[in-house]
Amino acid sequence: MIYGRRVAETNKELEARILANPDDRDAYAVYGDWLSERNDPRGELIAVQMKLEGAPGDTALREREKKLLDANREAWLGESLAKLTKEDDFHVTWRWGFVDGVRIGPVEGYETSSIDFPDTIASLAEVPHYNLVRDITIGAFEYDDYPTSWNNSIEALNEAGVPQNLRKLAFSRGGFWDISSTELGDLSPLYPQLKNLRELSIEMGAMQLGKIELPALQKLEIITGGLTSDNVRSITDAKWPALETLSLCIGESGNDYGCTVQSEDLEPIFVAENIPHVKHLALANSSLADQIAASLVKSRILPRLQSLDLSKGMMTDDGARAILDNWNAFSHLAKIDLSHGYFTEGVVGELKAKGDKIVLGDLQRADEDYRYCEISE
């Protein structure tokens, strides 16, 4: 590896120690000392960033960090990535001297990026110490077809290789306001490289999940208005020995945006045989909200939960009554999110009487003729 005109110093033993335990602060500190002894500026960056943890407001340290990053940007990122200075195109976060998180493309607002995502992913894989990257987010690129697919980015990640240290992977529709015009593509080719992944977040109109094998995953979040029965089956057929948070936005069943989920598709979640450790469950953004609430009453999963999110959907007084009339089954929960519900004034009063654990934001009119899920089009 080359930093500018000088050969990068590496210590394979220390790097192996860090890869084995990414939170081993002492290993990074020892590596920093080792690098500083060899006049490698990365050693100073490690020391500066560790000091900033205890003194985040230290102006002098913050200025020194910036100077080090600016002076060594090309050496530490490579020529092509160093040129990507527009925030919407490329953003890097650093931790203890190394690239920790990378975002390609924007994830908020209505912006998209015109850079070549597959080429950027290939360049990222050439970054020194790429295997230490813990977090990758793929945001929005310019419209190329309908629906716009992220499959090229998945293929590029698969070809370049996923960092051994990767803990979080996210795909975001970013600047596409109409989520239904986006699709993830087929994620399954990546699974063999994601054995250490802890968090997976997908915000897309459609996706192919295939046979899921993510043994270390602790959090799965899917934000969509077009979840399908096949998607749910992929989730309920998988083994989840470490999963603690399962968050699904479902959509309006049978609408024009791809949602095909029916109540019976969710039954394996209520039985919870393959998700024995889930403590935080969201079955949100659904036209089936009333049925979901009723099914949870005598489910096996409810007693295990610490929080429940049934927000963003089309829950009415019927769903609220299932909770209120069976309060003993729900009272252990620290939080129950029923935002965007279509409740009458009397039911709202009863829900509020249960205390702050019930969240009732963005309530809709109970007599509204047209009801909708918050995330659909």
Does residue 350 share a domain with residue 216?
yes
Number of domain units in the chain:
2
Q: Is the pLDDT of residue 8 over 70?
A: no
Residue 257's pLDDT is: 87
Worst-scoring range by mean pLDDT, 13-17, 332-336, 354-358?
13-17
Residue 224 belongs to domain spanning: 94-365
| Residue 132 forms part of a structural domain | yes
Does residue 46 share a domain with residue 105?
no
Q: Is the pLDDT of residue 350 over 80?
A: yes
| Residue 81 forms part of a structural domain | no
C-alpha span between 203 and 25 (Å, rounded): 33
Does residue 102 share a domain with residue 67?
no
Does residue 232 share a domain with residue 143?
yes
Residue 3's pLDDT is: 37
Find out whether 250 and 288 touch, Cβ atoms under 8 Å.
Answer: yes
Residue 7's pLDDT is: 47
Does residue 42 share a domain with residue 134?
no
Q: Is the pLDDT of residue 2 over 80?
A: no
Structure tokens at 318: 């019927």
**pLDDT-derived band of residue 20, with 50, 70 and 90 as boundaries?**
confident
| Residue 77 forms part of a structural domain | no
Q: Is the pLDDT of residue 55 over 60?
A: yes
Does residue 333 share a domain with residue 187?
yes
State what percent of residues in the chain have pLDDT above 70: 97
| Residue 124 forms part of a structural domain | yes
Residue 9's pLDDT is: 66
Q: What is the mean pLDDT of residues 193-220?
A: 96
Residue 175's pLDDT is: 80
Tell me the pLDDT tens digit for each residue of 258-291. 899 999 999 999 999 999 999 999 999 999 999 9
Does residue 196 share a domain with residue 292?
yes
**Core vs surface per residue 71-84: b (16+ CB within 10 A) or e:** ebbebbbbebbeeb
Does residue 187 share a domain with residue 330?
yes
Tell me the pLDDT tens digit for each residue of 68-125. 999 999 999 999 999 998 988 999 999 999 999 999 999 987 788 889 999 999 999 9
Return the higher-pLDDT residue of 16 and 319. Answer: 319
| Residue 82 forms part of a structural domain | no
| Residue 375 forms part of a structural domain | no
Q: In which element (H, E) is residue 3 found? A: strand 2-3
Does residue 146 share a domain with residue 41?
no
Average pLDDT of the chain, as a whole number: 93
| Residue 34 forms part of a structural domain | yes
Q: Indicate the pairing of strand 307-309 with strand 358-359.
A: unpaired
Residue 271 CB partners (closer than 8 Å, separation 6+) = 299, 300, 301
Q: Is the pLDDT of residue 170 over 90?
A: yes
Does residue 28 share a domain with residue 103?
no
Q: What is the mean pLDDT of residues 252-261?
A: 90
Q: What is the mean pLDDT of residues 168-185?
A: 91
Say which CATH number the domain at 259 has: 3.80.10.10
In degrees and rounded to multiples of 5, residue 209 shows phi and psi of -100, -25
Does residue 146 share a domain with residue 246?
yes
Residue 144's pLDDT is: 67
| Residue 78 forms part of a structural domain | no
Nearest to 246 by CA among 212, 303, 297, 199: 199
Does residue 146 share a domain with residue 275?
yes
Residue 113's pLDDT is: 84
Tell whether the torsion through CA atoms of 360, 361, 366 and 369 is positive or negative. Answer: negative
